[in-house]
């Protein structure tokens, strides 16, 4: 159960290579929908990418996952870790999922290799100071996927606001 060892390793306090505590202001925070589970991450990141693979589409229920990837030592649970469940497809080399047992929100998951942790960016409560760099598994994208800029955009609900052009805010 190597992932279990890694799981235990995740819950240790964040430290740098010289085992010094990481200052609080260098961390970014995330949580689940019901607010039971909280975590924090620390840059630098490996990357931020949209993944259109079939597993990510199933796990998110959306056209793609929006994932920040970083070294596992730069991640820790800060609340509610006992509510985090994990699922690993037997056939995957890398992919797994984590989710809140109470609300079902997707949550950060350690790759089966143990070499990276994957942060579903929609669970962050702060701007992580990075924007997406690439689409991966583009060839596997949902057949109905449309680029957001090709669609009408309403600031809130249709009927309560007028369609506008998407901007880069």
Which residues contact Zn ion (rule: CB under 5 A)? 32, 34, 36, 51, 53, 56, 100, 102-103
Please state the length of the chain: 169
Task: Provide the edge-to-edge strand list for the sheet that holds 109-110.
Answer: 109-110, 117-120, 65-70, 47-51, 134-136
Q: How far is the CB of 105 from Zn ion (least distance, A)?
A: 5
Q: What is the DSSP letter of 148?
A: G
> What stretches of the chain adopt beta strand conformation (E)?
28-31, 38-41, 47-51, 65-70, 75-79, 84-87, 97-100, 106-107, 109-110, 117-120, 134-136
Q: How far is the CB of 93 from Zn ion (least distance, A)?
A: 12
Pick the closer one to Zn ion by CB: 73 or 101. 101
Q: How far is the CB of 53 from Zn ion (least distance, A)?
A: 3
Q: How far is the CB of 132 from Zn ion (least distance, A)?
A: 14
Pick the closer one to Zn ion by CB: 41 or 120. 120
Pick the closer one to Zn ion by CB: 76 or 97. 97
Pick the closer one to Zn ion by CB: 14 or 100. 100
């Amino acid at each position: 159960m190597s992932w279990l060892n890694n799981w235990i390793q995740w819950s240790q306090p964040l430290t740098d290579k010289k085992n010094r505590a990481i200052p609080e202001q260098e961390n970014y925070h995330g949580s689940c929908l019901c607010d039971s589970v909280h975590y924090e991450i620390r840059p630098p990141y490996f990357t931020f990418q949209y993944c259109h693979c079939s597993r990510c589409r199933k796990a998110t229920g959306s056209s793609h996952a929006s994932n920040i990837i970083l070294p596992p030592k730069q991640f820790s649970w800060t609340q509610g870790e006992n509510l985090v469940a994990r699922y690993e497809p037997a056939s995957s080399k890398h992919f797994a999922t984590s989710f809140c047992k109470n609300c079902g929100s997707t949550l950060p998951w350690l790759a089966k290799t143990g070499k990276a942790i994957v942060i579903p960016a929609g669970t962050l409560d702060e701007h992580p100071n990075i924007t997406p760099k690439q689409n991966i598994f583009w060839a596997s994208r949902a057949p109905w996927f449309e680029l957001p800029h090709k669609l009408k955009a309403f600031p809130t609900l249709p009927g309560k606001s007028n369609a506008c052009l998407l901007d880069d805010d």
